């Protein structure tokens, strides 16, 4: 990827973060931490990787995306808005009564949302189903799903992983947002799913461990995943929870808390600084 392309993606990711903060702030609730850590992954998937058309969100040969860690909907919604599925204005109504954008993804009401999620651990199974359907129908679409590293404590994730490998779902690519934090503390303290890469490998996945904020590494990983045949892929993306908002970075407390007016200003200043830095490049 050349410098201009990379710069463009970085700017988009920054706007995803701004959109997510905007939404959570207006809703006075929601999950900023994990939305920010996954922002670069959302951006790459929607702007570089996936074969999709925002004007035709239900096109049957499109690539599919399942946000298994559904609480990070603000990040996904901001990405979908930037991509053109709906106006960014909708972010202001996030979680309000009658809003298109529900607290957790709702495939019935939001264009671009392929699966309703929110109960952790269930999305991967649905992604497996989508991938299996693609195989049955000899379609060449791919299925992507982002999971939390806390989320993978759910046993169902491993039932799905076993299924995916057993059925040789090489059209499935799981991305673990490995930010190291969940709600009650660090993932290491609470649940201990590490080493995550070894687990997926032993389940029969092709596994890559990357820096989830480095677009060169993200690109290389997705390119490689496309070449894998006969087994599913897992990309373990090392990330920072609360990325690019100074007071949220690596803070457990910012998992599911909305910023107040003052914190909102600071967060936006932080992100604007990142954006102007990128614009100056």
Partner 1 sequence: MAEMVKKATRESYGEALAELSEKYPQVVVLDADLAAATKTGVFKKACPDRFIDCGISECNMVGVAAGLATCGKIPFATSFAMFSAGRAFEQVRNSVGYPKLNVKIVGSHAGISVGEDGATHQCNEDIALMRTIPGMVVLNPADHYEMKAAVKAAIEHHGPVYLRLGRLAVESFNNADDYRFELGKGVTLRDGRNITIVATGLMVSRALKAVKTLEEQGIDARLINIHTIKPLDRELIIKAAKETGKIITVEEHNVIGGLGDAVCGAVCEAFPVPVIKVGVNDVYGHSGPAVDLLDEFGLNAGHIVEVTKKALQK
Residues forming contacts to ligand TPP in the complex (CB under 6 A) are 31, 33-34, 37, 69, 71-72, 118-121, 148-151, 177, 179, 181-183, 241, 255
| Contact (Cβ atoms closer than 8 angstroms) between residue 259 and residue 32 | yes
Q: Which is nearer to partner 1, 261 or 280 (CB)?
A: 261
User: What is the C-alpha to C-alpha distance for residues 260 and 276, in angstroms, rounded to an integer?
Assistant: 24
Q: Which residue has the tokens 């995803």?
A: 16
CB of 156 to ligand TPP, least distance (A): 9
Give the binding site for partner 1 (CB under 8 A): 27-30, 70-71, 94-99, 102-104, 106, 116-121, 150-151, 153-155, 182-185, 190-193
User: What is the C-alpha to C-alpha distance for residues 2 and 7, in angstroms, rounded to an integer?
Assistant: 9
CB of 20 to partner 1, least distance (A): 15
| Contact (Cβ atoms closer than 8 angstroms) between residue 238 and residue 212 | yes
Q: Which is nearer to partner 1, 155 or 229 (CB)?
A: 155
Q: Which is nearer to partner 1, 98 or 261 (CB)?
A: 98
Beta strands in 205-265 (DSSP E): 206-211, 233-238
**What is residue 89's three-state secondary structure?**
helix
CB of 78 to ligand TPP, least distance (A): 15
**Could you give the strand order of the β-sheet that contains 233-238, starting from the edge strand earlier in sequence?**
64-67, 143-148, 172-178, 233-238, 206-211
Q: Which is nearer to partner 1, 104 or 199 (CB)?
A: 104
Per partner kind, with CB cut-offs from 5 to 8 A, the member of partner 1, ligand TPP, none near residue 27 is: partner 1
CB of 276 to ligand TPP, least distance (A): 28
Q: Which residue has the tokens 């480095």?
A: 214
């Amino acid at each position: 990827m050349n410098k201009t392309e990379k710069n463009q993606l970085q700017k988009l990711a920054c706007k995803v973060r701004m959109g997510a903060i905007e939404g959570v702030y207006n809703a006075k609730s929601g999950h900023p931490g994990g939305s920010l850590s996954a922002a670069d992954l959302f951006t790459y998937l929607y702007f570089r990787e996936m074969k999709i058309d925002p004007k035709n969100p239900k096109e049957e040969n499109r690539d599919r995306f399942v946000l298994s860690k559904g609480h990070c909907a603000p990040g996904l919604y901001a990405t979908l808005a930037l991509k053109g599925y709906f106006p960014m204005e909708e972010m202001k109504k996030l979680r309000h009564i009658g809003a298109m954008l529900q607290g957790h993804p709702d495939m019935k009401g939001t264009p671009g949302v392929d699966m309703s999620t929110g109960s952790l651990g269930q999305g991967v199974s649905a992604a497996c189903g989508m991938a299996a359907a693609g195989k049955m129908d000899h379609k060449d679409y791919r299925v992507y799903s982002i999971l939390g590293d806390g989320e993978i404590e759910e046993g169902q994730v491993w039932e799905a992983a076993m299924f995916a490998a057993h059925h040789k779902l090489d059209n499935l690519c799981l991305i673990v947002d490995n930010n190291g934090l969940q709600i009650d503390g660090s993932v290491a303290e609470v649940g201990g799913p590490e080493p995550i890469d070894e687990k997926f490998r032993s389940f029969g996945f092709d596994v890559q461990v990357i820096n989830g904020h480095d677009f060169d590494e993200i690109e290389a990983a997705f390119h490689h995943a496309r070449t894998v045949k006969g087994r599913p892929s897992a990309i373990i993306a090392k990330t920072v929870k609360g990325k690019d908002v100074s007071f949220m970075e690596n803070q457990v407390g910012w998992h599911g808390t909305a910023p107040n007016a003052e914190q909102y200003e600071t967060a936006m200043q932080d992100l604007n600084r990142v954006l102007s830095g990128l614009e100056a490049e």
